[in-house]
Structure 1
Amino acid sequence: MPTDAQPTPSTMTEDYLKVIWKAEEWAAGESDRGITTNEIAATLGVGASTVSGNLRKLERDGYIDYEPYRRIALSELGRRVAVGMVRRHRLIETYLVERLGYGWDEVHDEAEVLEHAVSDRLLEAFDVELGRPAADPHGDPIPAADGTVTRPVAHPLQQFASGECGFVVRVSDDEPELLRYLASLDLRVGAHVRVGERRDYAGSMEVVLTDVHDRPLGTVELAGAAASSVWANSEPHTHA
């Protein structure tokens, strides 16, 4: 977070830095790291010219490394602020689900508002009350208070070969409608899955939900966008 010499970041600054950090967090490879002006504009629902102007302010204040028409990267200061905001967001989401009964598809927008208002003291109380959870309801890691982030080893189901199996460890929370759809299929964090037939020509794949002994419990069809939003690994996943 900011030092004594650094002013408290504005809400705009916090939102932009969080978006940039999240784009790096689950990048498939080094070439995918960072984010473009247009991608930020699409995520935040604002014009590209507005984003460009705000990025120049963030660079001036030392939060990012920015050159027009190139991917944006966080500075060390920007990364500290971003990780702090991500911690706030994910702890709030977890509290809303675990203690207030929200659905995993309902918490993102609430957390977007509350993350700017909750005090550090209340956030710590949430963390203690929840037993210091390692991940939020979507499987995204919750950064520790010191900024440490432990990301699980996982890959999108879209990258799995036919016959490959694993435990779902993370589901992207970008689209509430997709979360509701996946929940209706019982395809949640912790589910054990095996990839069946891949229909690459149609951009879809068969996913078999199984028990830990690989006995089938049900079969679903996922299109490319949905398959890329579900991440799994080959190790058992315990949700804290």
Structure 2
Amino acid sequence: MHSFTEENYIKTIFKLSSNGTQEVNTNAIAEALDTKAASVTDMLRKLSTKKLVHYIKYRGVSLTEEGNRVALQVVRRHRLWEVFLVEKLKFSWDEVHEVAEELEHVSSALLTRRLDEFLGHPQFDPHGDPIPSENGEMKLKKQRLLAEMTVDEAGVVVGVNDSQPLFLQYLDKMCISLGTRIKVLDHFAYDNSMEISLEDERQLLVSSEVSRNIFISA
């Protein structure tokens, strides 16, 4: 049994380290959790004692096999709750993250299994992120960023790189969601903005920041 804080650190390391495969420095963790580097160092020492992370001072931290397992279970619960909130309680995709942040710490394996069964074993959450299976496996989509596409290329939106409410609300106003087909009409070198068209033939100008946060089917 791990505390809320420990699980949040483990999940943050998992996300920052490309799903647990790379070392992460303490400053990156401190920024992600909006806390002081000294506090991060103290927690990393604690997690190292519990054999959840490999921590080397001044180098960084990575998850142990057990730490990676814990992270995957927290991520699994979080994303399953997001599906439940959207599909069953009719939350919008920009409202679910903070609620799921609380629910992800309910660590009953039976509850998680029943929730998964009730939802029909979903493989992706409302933002297009893969949901780990009970044994930690994830089905990954072939995808790339909209920013990487060239003129006349087209594809379907399969995920977002930024799940913050303000960005999701922006996409809602632009009528862009998972499943929306996008075609690149032009690319402007001056500021790396793009002109795109949607399936309803509407044309939009999107900024470089927006195009770097939308995943398109590869």
Whether the TM-score (by the shorter chain) exceeds 0.5 is yes
The equivalent residue for 1:12 is 5
Among 66, 87, 95, the residue aligned to 2:76? 87
Per-residue deviation, 1:36:
2.7
- 1:82 and 1:118 mapped to 2: Cα distance? 12
- Amino acid corresponding to residue 67 of structure 1 in structure 2: I
What is the CA deviation profile of residues 9-34 of structure 1, one whole-angstrom value per residue up to 9, with x for unaligned ones? 2211211111121223479xx9xx44
- Alpha-carbon deviations, 1:40-70, whole Å to 9, x = none? 2222121122112211222222112223343
The 1:68/1:199 distance shift into structure 2, 3 A limit, reads farther
Matched, 1:218 2:202: yes
Whole-Å Cα distance in 1 between the matches of residues 57 and 184 of structure 2?
41
Of residues 103, 112, 115, the one that matches 2:104 is 115
Structure 2 length-normalised TM: 0.91
Question: Residues of 2 paired with 1:134 and 1:168: CA distance?
Answer: 16
Asked whether the equivalents of residues 127 and 163 of structure 2 are also in contact (C-alpha less than 8 Å), the reply is no
- Contact kept in structure 1, 2:94 and 2:163, CA below 8 Å: no
For the pair 1:227 / 2:211, whether they are aligned, the reply is yes
Match of 1:5 in 2: none
Alignment of 1:124-203 (within 5 A): 124-203=113-192
The amino acid across from 1:166 in the alignment is: G
Counterpart AA for 2:210: A
- Residue 132 of structure 2 aligns to a residue whose secondary structure is coil
Counterpart of 2:15 in structure 1 is: 22
Amino acid at match of 1:218: R
Pairwise CA distance, 1:71: 4.5
Indicate conservation of the 8 Å contact 1:108/1:173, yes or no.
no
Q: Could you tell me how far 1:129 is from its partner in structure 2?
A: 1.5
Which moved further from structure 2: 140-149 or 200-209? Answer: 200-209
Query: 2:157·2:178 contact (CA, 8 Å) conserved in 1?
Result: yes
2:94–2:168 Cα contact (<8 Å) kept:
yes
| 2:201 alignment partner AA | L
Which residue is equivalent to 1:98?
87
For residues 59-86 of structure 1, the C-alpha deviation after alignment (integer angstroms, 9 at most, x for no partner) is 2221122233434321111110000000
Aligned equivalents of 1:221, 1:56: Cα separation in 2: 48
Partner Cα separation in structure 2 for residue 165 and residue 149 of structure 1:
26
Aligned-residue RMSD, C-alpha: 2.0
The separation in 2 between residues aligned to 1:87 and 1:156, in whole angstroms, is: 24
TM norm structure 1: 0.83
Pair 72,165 (structure 1): closer, same or farther in 2 beyond 3 Å = farther
CA distance in 2, matches of 1:230, 1:34: 26
Aligned length: 218
Ranges in structure 2 where 5+ consecutive residues have no aligned partner: none
